[in-house]
Amino acid sequence: MRVLVTGGAGFIGSHLCEFLLEQGVEVLCMDNFITGSAENCAAVRDRPGFTFALHNVTEYIAVDGPLDWVLHLASPASPRDYLELPIQTLKVGALGTHNALGLAKSKRAAFLLASTSEVYGDPLVHPQREDYWGNVNPIGPRGVYDEAKRFAEAITMAYHRYHGVDTRIVRIFNSYGPRMRLNDGRAIPTFITQALTGAPLTVYGDGSQTRSFQFVSDLVQGIWKLMHTPVNDPVNIGNPYEMTLLDLAKRILVLSGAQSEIVFRPLPVDDPKVRQPDITRARTLLGWEPRVDVDEGLRITIDWYRQRLHA
């Protein structure tokens, strides 16, 4: 099997590339390092079967030789990124997905879109099932990411229905683990970095908004299972264990042994109040559910950040 992974030098993409190589898959990793990094691929760049291509997927994608899969993960993915890179976020969701689908069509390859729980917006249905259409503000600051992914899902289904491309859509819920950037801006890397440097942990609003966090190895297993299951409709991959962000901050303080205080800041615009996946479809169709306990995953992640901060 030969697979193209766009965004392969990102947090999730690099873990996926590593996993695929371990399964004996030949991997072409494509990235332009807007939010990914060469360091993420350091563990695999010299391994047989791994090739890297420096390319922006919003431009035409040319790949020599056959492909069995195009896994489209390229996109800024944190609120900080898509607020700083709004046009790039929209372009990679629209033009990048179009180009990646066109490549899959020309190679007669299957296609997987890495979508997101953000397509549900600030949900009015809880937990979120795949048949929920969402509650998104299309012109708000977060809309550049939400609508880019919603468009990406629409064009993916159009290529499936009109051109017969074998497609998958994975709706990824909050994920974490080693290789998330220290300045990523999402809750877990922010809290861990603050805790390990003795800074106050900044909680937005009163901290009662909820999230559901899955360790990256569970997510990669879910993607692999989805690749091998003939289901074209979207599938949630996430950990249904829900917690408040205030509880998350307190857990990280305990697990890291830090003595930092918790301070509160105003809630960002359109920040979702709840986020929890209904994973019935993943359980029944894929035989998948998360295995890594949140505290265990947080310990692994904290240890990785500690090494990075003291390197």
- 310 and 208 in contact (C-beta within 8 Å)? no
Q: Which amino acid is at 10?
A: G
Q: What's the CA dihedral at 192, 193, 194, 199 to 10 degrees?
A: 140
CA distance 50 to 44: 7
Cβ neighbourhood burial of 52 (10 Å; 0-12, 13-18, 19+): middle
- ∠ CA(81), CA(86), CA(87), 5° rounding? 130
Instruction: Give catalytic residue positions.
Output: 145
56 and 91 Cβ atoms separated by less than 8 Å: no
State the alpha helices, DSSP H only, in the chain: 11-22, 79-84, 86-91, 97-107, 143-163, 187-196, 216-227, 245-256, 280-281, 294-309
Peptide bond preceding 127 in cis form (omega within 30 of 0): yes
228 C-beta neighbours (distance < 10 Å), count = 8
Q: How would you label 111-141 residue by residue, b for 16+ Cβ within 10 Å and e otherwise?
A: bbbbbbbbbbbbbeeebbebebebebeeeee
